[in-house]
């Protein structure tokens, strides 16, 4: 079990550029979650999917953020255009629907927008 | 008011001490309660989980949930320097799959 895999680990981009973060959940997990972590706000849920379908995107800060899950093994979080206030660590997590109380997190993508 | 409140610390204790970490919450629908440990520049890792009220013990760690008071605790016995990390409480209702986190408490165990 390779765990939840995120890429890239670090991303530095200029304001206004498009940023795409990637996530591969654990095989067999039905749910996928995108979180953002900052010192000021802690861990915030942005969006989550169940069986590749977006269920709740109420945490997505604004229209500049979008997320997709084209299949069970891949998801993307896109920011276009990026702004300095988007700088944070973005985590992807997954879990099984049955008997899977624990959410397994990836190592995160540290995004810096300059 | 946040749904889950947790004192961010920092908390610093000597090696071998008993550590007590706590969270309060406001949503009475929460049924699943967890503690995550996060080392610097790493993702959170699940440490303990408890369903509804009661205690759960795993080695040096004990998790307690008091739903009547909307209060959860994590106790660490015989604390070790390797326990130094940020500890996050988290919970969700079951009907909604949104895992809601506390702010996290930064803990340092001094040798």
Report the pLDDT value the prediction gives residue A36, as an integer from 0 to 100: 97
Q: Which residue of A has its CA nearest to B32?
A: A101
What is the mean pLDDT for each group of 10 consecutive residues in chain B (111 residues)?
A: 88 97 95 94 93 91 95 97 97 83 96 94
What 3 state SS string does chain B have? CCCEEECCCCEEEECCCCEEEEEEECCCCCCEEEEEEECCCCCCEEEEEEECCEEEEECCEEEEEECCCCEEEEEECCCCHHHCEEEEEEEECCCCCCCEECCCEEEEEEC
Residues of A in contact with B5 (CB under 8 A): none
Per this entry, what is the length of chain A? 114
Report the pLDDT value the prediction gives residue B95, as an integer from 0 to 100: 72
Report the pLDDT value the prediction gives residue A32, as an integer from 0 to 100: 96
- Asked if the Cβ–Cβ distance from A42 to B101 is below 8 Å, we say yes
What is the rounded CA–CA span in Å between residue B86 and residue A38?
A: 13
Report the pLDDT value the prediction gives residue B89, as an integer from 0 to 100: 97
List pLDDT tens digits, range A51-74: 999 999 999 988 999 999 999 999
Confirm or reject contact between B59 and chain A (CB < 8 A). Answer: no
Q: Is 80 exceeded by the pLDDT of residue A108?
A: yes
Sign, CA dihedral B88-B49-A107-A60, equals negative
- Asked if the Cβ–Cβ distance from B46 to A31 is below 8 Å, we say no
Q: Is 80 exceeded by the pLDDT of residue A99?
A: no
Chain A: residues touching B (Cβ < 8 Å)? 4, 31, 33, 42-43, 45, 48, 50, 55-56, 91, 93, 101-108, 110
């Amino acid at each position: 079990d390779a765990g939840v895999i995120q890429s890239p680990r670090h991303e530095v981009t200029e304001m206004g550029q498009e940023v795409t973060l990637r996530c591969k959940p654990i095989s067999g997990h039905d749910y996928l979650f995108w979180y953002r972590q900052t010192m000021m706000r802690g861990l915030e849920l942005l969006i989550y999917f169940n069986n590749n379908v977006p269920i709740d995107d109420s945490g997505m800060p604004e229209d500049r953020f979008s997320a997709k899950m084209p299949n069970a093994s891949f998801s993307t979080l896109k920011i276009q255009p990026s702004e300095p206030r988007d700088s944070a660590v973005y985590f992807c997590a997954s879990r099984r629907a049955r008997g899977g109380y624990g959410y397994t997190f990836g190592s995160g993508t540290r995004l810096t927008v300059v | 008011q946040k749904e889950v409140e947790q004192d961010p610390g920092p908390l610093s204790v000597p090696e071998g001490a008993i550590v007590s970490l706590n969270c309060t919450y406001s949503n009475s629908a929460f049924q699943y309660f967890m503690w995550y440990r996060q080392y610097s520049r790493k993702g959170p890792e699940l440490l303990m989980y408890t369903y509804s009220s009661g205690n759960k013990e795993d080695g040096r760690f004990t998790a307690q949930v008091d739903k009547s008071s909307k209060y959860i605790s994590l106790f660490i016995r015989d604390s070790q320097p390797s326990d130094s990390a940020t500890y996050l409480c988290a919970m969700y209702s079951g009907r909604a799959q949104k895992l809601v986190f506390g702010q996290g408490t930064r803990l340092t165990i001094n040798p």
